Amino acid sequence: MIKKVAVDTSPLISGHKVRGIGVNTRELISAFEKLPKSDFVFGKNKIKVKAVDFSSFDLSNFDLVHYQYFHPFFKTLPLSKPADKVVLTIHDLIPLVYPSHYPPGVRGRLNFKFQKSRLSDVDRIVTISETSKKDIVRFLSYPQGKIDVIYLAPRDIFKRLAAGSWQLEVAKRYDLPDKFVLYVGDINYNKNISTLVEACDRLDLTLVIVGKQALEIDNLHQKKNLAGPMDWVRFLFGKSHPEVSHLKNLSKIISKSKKVVRLGFVPDNDLVAIYNLATLYVQPSFYEGFGLPLLEAMSCGTPVLASDIGAHREIASDAALFFDPYSVSDLKEKLNEIISQKDLRKRLVEKGLKRVKDFSWLKTARETLKVYEKILF
């Protein structure tokens, strides 16, 4: 028996295409294409996977459809069940974890009721960590036994580079110092960037931030390039929204610091070199659903310092040094430990390179196929 599966590609043609959800969707589809045909055969049964833009495609001929994106305050699920079986990937529920910081408004509350009601048509949920799984049970009242945890993975491009002219060229182009702390990602409230800025200031360390949001922060509330949910929030609520207030305050903190270098978006090849050049990578978040930059840094042989939260412990295991995200002093102390102790840096690099071997997109794709098999046959 052959069963047809459709995987949603709409994140690849929306504002999410260069964000985490778009990258993850692209890598999953690519991994499906790389798997041997035998991985799609289950006894006498077979699964055929097709990448489809759900926003403009008739899904009635598929046995199973896999949605790649969910937001509690926006309508991302259909009015009716589009196929016999439905799988949904939920990365995290940050807006529900911090309700006072991400107020939904009247429209958002109505959308949340709709989204939650449509989960009755979802046969299984895939999520990216045990941390996110607990939140799905807590906030969405979805049965724990119908949730599968499947880890993400760093892309193959992230790897340790031999010292050479390419790294020197990148360092010169971005005017990077010999010693610097690196952070890659957005700068929303949960990312806790102000604590990282203050700790680096106290140690007179250069902090390099990669990501377009940090470069646009000074006029963020004015932009109309709506790349993701938080951009829509800014547009709909304007300056009165708590997230906008947070970003404005963070803009002042960054502007006062003489040690912050904001690079904005950088091409992948440059980013790999920057990871390799960094003295260490820091992820200071109050909350994460996963923490993919941790694995990217480890893949590049960069020591990792991470906030002591559930997802980071789960993903990094013993391959990172951890600190209290609510304590600037603890972060400062741990930063100093890594910078001043060569043996510690070496140990973190070795453990990191070993840890990332547990993650791959082929493994993610195979585990996703097992979810399909579970509900199709």
Q: For each of the domains in the chain, give its residue range(s) and CATH number, in order of start.
A: 2-153+360-376 (3.40.50.2000), 165-358 (3.40.50.2000)
- C-alpha torsion sign, points 40, 41, 42, 48: positive
What is the spatial distance between Cα 28 and Cα 16, in angstroms, rounded to a whole number? 15
Distance CA 158, CA 296 (A): 6
CA distance linking residue 54 with residue 201, whole number of Å: 47
The values of phi and psi at residue 260, to 5°, are: -100, 125
Instruction: Give the integer Cα–Cα distance in Å for 39 and 337.
Output: 46
Instruction: Give the tokens for residue 67.
Output: 């949605």
| pLDDT (0 to 100) of residue 218 | 72
Flag whether pLDDT at 235 surpasses 60. Answer: no
**Mean pLDDT of all residues belonging to the chain:** 93
Higher pLDDT, 238 or 276: 276
- End-to-end Cα separation, the chain, in angstroms: 9
Per-residue confidence (pLDDT) for residue 111, from 0 to 100: 97
Six-digit token string for 343? 């043996």
- Is the pLDDT at 232 greater than 60? The verdict is no
Residue with tokens 């990871």: 275
Percent above pLDDT 70 for the chain: 93
pTM of the predicted protein model: 0.93
Query: In the predicted model, is pLDDT for residue 323 greater than 80?
Result: yes
8 A C-beta contact, residue 97 and residue 58: no
Confidence of residue 247 (pLDDT cuts 50, 70, 90): confident
What three-state secondary structure class fits 327? coil
pLDDT for residue 229 is more than 90: no
pLDDT at 106: 94
**What pLDDT sits at residue 20?**
74
Structure tokens at 248: 């404005």
**Does the pLDDT value for residue 65 go beyond 70?**
yes
* pLDDT value at residue 233: 54
Packing angle of the helix pair 20-34, 361-376 (nearest 10 deg): 80
Mean pLDDT of 48-55: 95
**CB-based contacts of 44: which residues, under 8 Å, 6+ apart?**
1
| Cα–Cα distance, 330 to 163 (Å, whole number) | 32
CA 231 to CA 92: how far, in whole Å?
17
Distance CA 142, CA 296 (A): 31
Evaluate whether 211 touches 236 at the Cβ level (below 8 Å): no
Average pLDDT over residues 113-138: 98
What pLDDT was estimated at residue 15? 55
Indicate if the pLDDT at residue 17 is higher than 60. Answer: no
Q: What pLDDT is attached to residue 239?
A: 59
User: d(Cα 253, Cα 229) in Å, to the nearest integer?
Assistant: 24
Is the separation of the CB atoms in 63 and 3 below 8 Å?
yes
pLDDT attached to residue 315: 98
Q: CB within 8 A of 227, min separation 6: which ones?
A: 15, 16, 18, 19
Separation of alpha carbons 66 and 275, rounded Å: 33
CB 126 within 8 A of CB 88: yes
Tokens 């107020």 -> residue? 103
> Distance between CA 76 and CA 10 in Å, rounded?
11
Q: Which two tokens stand for residue 159?
A: 């790897």
Q: Is residue 18 scored above 60 in pLDDT?
A: no
Q: How many CB atoms lie within 10 A of CB 246?
A: 18
> In the numeric block, which tokens belong to residue 249?
């305050």
Mean pLDDT of 338-360: 98
Average pLDDT over residues 134-145: 98
Check whether 238 has a pLDDT greater than 80: no
Q: Backbone phi, then psi, for 98, in 5-degree steps? A: -120, 70
The one-character DSSP state at 308 is S
Please tell me the distance from the alpha carbon of residue 26 to that of residue 23, in angstroms, as a whole number.
Answer: 5
Query: Is a pLDDT exceeding 60 seen at residue 220?
Result: no
Could you identify the residue written with the tokens 């006062």? 256
Residue 214 region by backbone torsions, left for phi larger than 0, else alpha for psi between -120 and 50, else beta:
alpha
pLDDT of residue 242: 85
Task: Give the pLDDT band (50/70/90) at residue 222.
Answer: low
- Residue 164 pLDDT: 85
pLDDT tens across 146-201, in order? Answer: 999 999 999 999 999 998 888 999 999 999 999 999 999 999 999 999 999 999 99
